[in-house]
Amino acid sequence: MPEDPQLDEEQLPPVAFSTITYLGPVAPHWDVAWTDGDERVIDEFRKRVNARLQLLPVHDPQFRRNRERVNRDAERERIELVWDLGYDEEAEESAGAAGRS
Protein backbone atom coordinates (compact mmCIF):
# COMPACT_ATOMS: atom_id res chain seq x y z
CA MET A 1 0.00 0.00 0.00
CA PRO A 2 1.56 3.35 -1.02
CA GLU A 3 2.17 5.96 1.63
CA ASP A 4 -0.34 8.75 1.85
CA PRO A 5 1.39 11.98 0.71
CA GLN A 6 -1.08 13.89 2.85
CA LEU A 7 0.30 12.25 6.00
CA ASP A 8 0.81 15.00 8.50
CA GLU A 9 4.39 15.27 9.77
CA GLU A 10 3.02 15.57 13.29
CA GLN A 11 1.86 11.96 13.02
CA LEU A 12 5.37 10.67 12.37
CA PRO A 13 7.26 9.39 15.42
CA PRO A 14 10.14 11.43 16.86
CA VAL A 15 13.59 10.58 15.50
CA ALA A 16 15.41 11.73 18.65
CA PHE A 17 14.85 12.85 22.22
CA SER A 18 16.69 15.63 24.04
CA THR A 19 16.68 17.46 27.36
CA ILE A 20 17.62 21.13 27.53
CA THR A 21 18.75 22.06 31.04
CA TYR A 22 19.30 25.53 32.46
CA LEU A 23 22.63 25.41 34.31
CA GLY A 24 22.37 28.73 36.12
CA PRO A 25 23.23 32.42 35.87
CA VAL A 26 26.90 31.89 34.95
CA ALA A 27 27.63 31.07 31.29
CA PRO A 28 27.37 28.57 29.77
CA HIS A 29 23.72 28.74 30.74
CA TRP A 30 22.48 25.67 28.85
CA ASP A 31 23.17 21.98 28.38
CA VAL A 32 21.56 20.17 25.44
CA ALA A 33 21.69 16.44 26.15
CA TRP A 34 20.88 13.54 23.84
CA THR A 35 18.60 11.06 25.63
CA ASP A 36 17.50 8.66 22.87
CA GLY A 37 17.21 8.21 19.12
CA ASP A 38 19.56 9.50 16.43
CA GLU A 39 22.49 11.14 18.23
CA ARG A 40 23.72 12.85 15.05
CA VAL A 41 20.42 14.71 14.78
CA ILE A 42 20.87 16.00 18.34
CA ASP A 43 24.49 17.02 17.66
CA GLU A 44 23.35 19.29 14.81
CA PHE A 45 20.35 20.50 16.83
CA ARG A 46 22.64 21.32 19.79
CA LYS A 47 24.65 23.72 17.60
CA ARG A 48 21.50 25.62 16.64
CA VAL A 49 20.19 25.70 20.23
CA ASN A 50 23.49 27.03 21.53
CA ALA A 51 23.45 29.75 18.89
CA ARG A 52 20.01 30.86 20.09
CA LEU A 53 20.39 30.45 23.84
CA GLN A 54 24.10 30.56 24.72
CA LEU A 55 24.16 34.04 26.27
CA LEU A 56 20.56 34.11 27.50
CA PRO A 57 19.70 33.34 31.11
CA VAL A 58 16.22 31.94 31.66
CA HIS A 59 14.74 35.24 32.92
CA ASP A 60 15.99 37.34 29.97
CA PRO A 61 13.01 38.64 27.94
CA GLN A 62 14.61 37.36 24.72
CA PHE A 63 14.67 33.82 26.14
CA ARG A 64 10.91 33.29 25.69
CA ARG A 65 11.06 34.22 21.98
CA ASN A 66 14.15 32.11 21.34
CA ARG A 67 12.68 29.18 23.23
CA GLU A 68 9.70 29.21 20.88
CA ARG A 69 12.08 29.20 17.92
CA VAL A 70 13.93 26.22 19.41
CA ASN A 71 10.60 24.41 19.94
CA ARG A 72 9.56 25.02 16.30
CA ASP A 73 12.97 23.83 15.10
CA ALA A 74 12.57 20.64 17.20
CA GLU A 75 9.10 20.03 15.75
CA ARG A 76 10.43 20.36 12.18
CA GLU A 77 13.29 17.95 12.97
CA ARG A 78 10.93 15.58 14.85
CA ILE A 79 12.89 15.93 18.07
CA GLU A 80 10.99 15.50 21.30
CA LEU A 81 12.18 18.04 23.87
CA VAL A 82 12.06 18.26 27.63
CA TRP A 83 12.94 21.62 29.18
CA ASP A 84 14.46 21.62 32.68
CA LEU A 85 14.56 25.24 33.80
CA GLY A 86 15.22 24.43 37.45
CA TYR A 87 11.76 25.50 38.62
CA ASP A 88 8.11 24.58 38.13
CA GLU A 89 6.99 26.71 35.17
CA GLU A 90 3.27 26.20 35.76
CA ALA A 91 3.52 27.30 39.39
CA GLU A 92 5.51 30.40 38.44
CA GLU A 93 3.05 31.34 35.67
CA SER A 94 0.07 31.01 38.02
CA ALA A 95 1.85 33.02 40.71
CA GLY A 96 2.62 35.72 38.12
CA ALA A 97 -0.99 35.74 36.94
CA ALA A 98 -2.25 36.00 40.53
CA GLY A 99 0.08 38.93 41.16
CA ARG A 100 -1.25 40.76 38.09
CA SER A 101 -4.90 40.30 39.12
Q: What pLDDT does 11 receive?
A: 80
pTM of the complete model: 0.76
Q: Which amino acid is at 50?
A: N
**Whether pLDDT at 5 is above 90:** no
Domain positions in the chain:
15-100
More confident residue, 10 or 83: 83
In tens, the pLDDT along 11-64 reads 889 999 999 999 998 878 999 999 999 999 999 999 999 999 988 999 899 999
Q: What pLDDT does 1 receive?
A: 47
Q: What pLDDT does 92 receive?
A: 64
